[in-house]
């Protein structure tokens, strides 16, 4: 049996170079996937923190009492996690206007929020703290800023007109109870 001097196939060096290229490609692909996954986790955390801060700002805005100046902190439960928030109320140069800055971040504590709650679901307040505490160095996930004024109406009645019942005036023509919807006679002298 005779052998040809060169048979078809890859040399060991060619196979090693091909494997090195595949290994680098797979490494780059895994790095991209890992980066994408960590970005998704970061964006979820940032979105939830913003919702917690916006909820707190809304609670302050709809409360009947004006917020006191200074810093307050508390916590809230959202999406199975406990979140810490801190609000700072500063009076603006315009009389009766207050700037409210709310910061929020996750505490890392998982909470089972599927069980029925025994307490009200409102966010809890902690006593006011002065600036310069260890909370100033916390890396807050998000910050929300809003303005609230002291001109609040004590009236809690609905402001919309009723949908049924008495009408505000006579019904327009062409509606039940109104004048019939008949065309007007033609004007004389029209071309």
Which residues have a Cβ under 8 Å from the Cβ of 130 and sit 6 or more positions away? 71
For the segment 30-53, the average pLDDT, to the nearest whole number, is 91
pLDDT on residue 158: 65
Query: Is residue 6 one of the residues assigned to a domain?
Result: no
Residue 104 has pLDDT above 90, yes or no: yes
Residue 87 has pLDDT above 90, yes or no: yes
For the segment 110-114, the average pLDDT, to the nearest whole number, is 80
Total domain count, the chain = 1
**Residue 68 belongs to domain spanning:** 39-149
pLDDT band per the 50, 70, 90 thresholds, residue 131: very low
Residue 93 has pLDDT above 70, yes or no: yes
* DSSP H stretches of helix in the chain: 12-62
For the segment 117-144, the average pLDDT, to the nearest whole number, is 60
CB-based contact 144:100 (threshold 8 Å): no
Residue 24 has pLDDT above 70, yes or no: yes
- CA-nearest of 138, 148, 142 to 53 is 142
Query: Is residue 187 one of the residues assigned to a domain?
Result: no
Query: Domain containing 136 — which CATH number?
Result: 3.30.1300.30
Query: Is residue 109 one of the residues assigned to a domain?
Result: yes
pLDDT on residue 149: 87
Query: Is residue 33 one of the residues assigned to a domain?
Result: no
Query: Is residue 137 one of the residues assigned to a domain?
Result: yes
Please state which of the ranges 27-36, 76-85, 95-104, 123-132 shows the lowest mean pLDDT.
Answer: 123-132
Query: Is residue 145 one of the residues assigned to a domain?
Result: yes
- Strand order from edge to edge, sheet including 142-149: 124-129, 70-78, 81-91, 97-110, 142-149
Report the chain's mean pLDDT, rounded to a whole number: 79
Query: Is residue 104 one of the residues assigned to a domain?
Result: yes
Residue 76 has pLDDT above 70, yes or no: yes
Residue 129 has pLDDT above 50, yes or no: no
Residue 70 has pLDDT above 90, yes or no: yes
Element (H, E) at 102: strand 97-110
Cα dihedral across residues 51, 57, 59, 61: positive or negative:
negative
pLDDT band per the 50, 70, 90 thresholds, residue 118: low
Residue 92 has pLDDT above 70, yes or no: yes
pTM (2 d.p.): 0.58
Residue 46 has pLDDT above 90, yes or no: yes
pLDDT on residue 47: 94
Residue 15 has pLDDT above 90, yes or no: yes
Task: State the Cα–Cα distance between residues 87 and 1, nearest whole angstrom.
Answer: 90
């Amino acid at each position: 049996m005779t052998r040809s001097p060169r048979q078809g196939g890859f040399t060991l060096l060619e196979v090693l170079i091909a494997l090195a290229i595949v290994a680098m490609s797979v490494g780059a692909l895994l790095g991209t996937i890992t980066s994408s996954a960590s970005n998704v986790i970061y964006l979820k955390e940032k979105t939830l923190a913003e919702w917690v801060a916006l909820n707190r700002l809304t609670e302050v805005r709809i409360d009947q009492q004006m917020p006191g100046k200074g810093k307050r902190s508390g916590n809230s439960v959202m999406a199975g996690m406990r979140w810490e928030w801190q609000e700072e109320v500063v009076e603006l140069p315009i009389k009766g206007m207050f700037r409210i800055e709310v910061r929020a971040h996750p505490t890392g504590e998982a909470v089972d929020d599927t069980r029925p709650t025994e307490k009200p679901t409102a966010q809890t307040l902690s006593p006011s703290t002065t600036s310069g505490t260890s909370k100033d160095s916390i890396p807050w996930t998000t910050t929300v800023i809003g303005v609230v004024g002291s001109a609040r109406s004590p009236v809690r009645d609905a402001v919309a007109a009723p949908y049924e019942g008495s009408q505000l005036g006579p019904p327009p023509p062409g509606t039940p109870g109104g004048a019939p919807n008949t065309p007007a006679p033609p004007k004389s002298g029209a071309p």
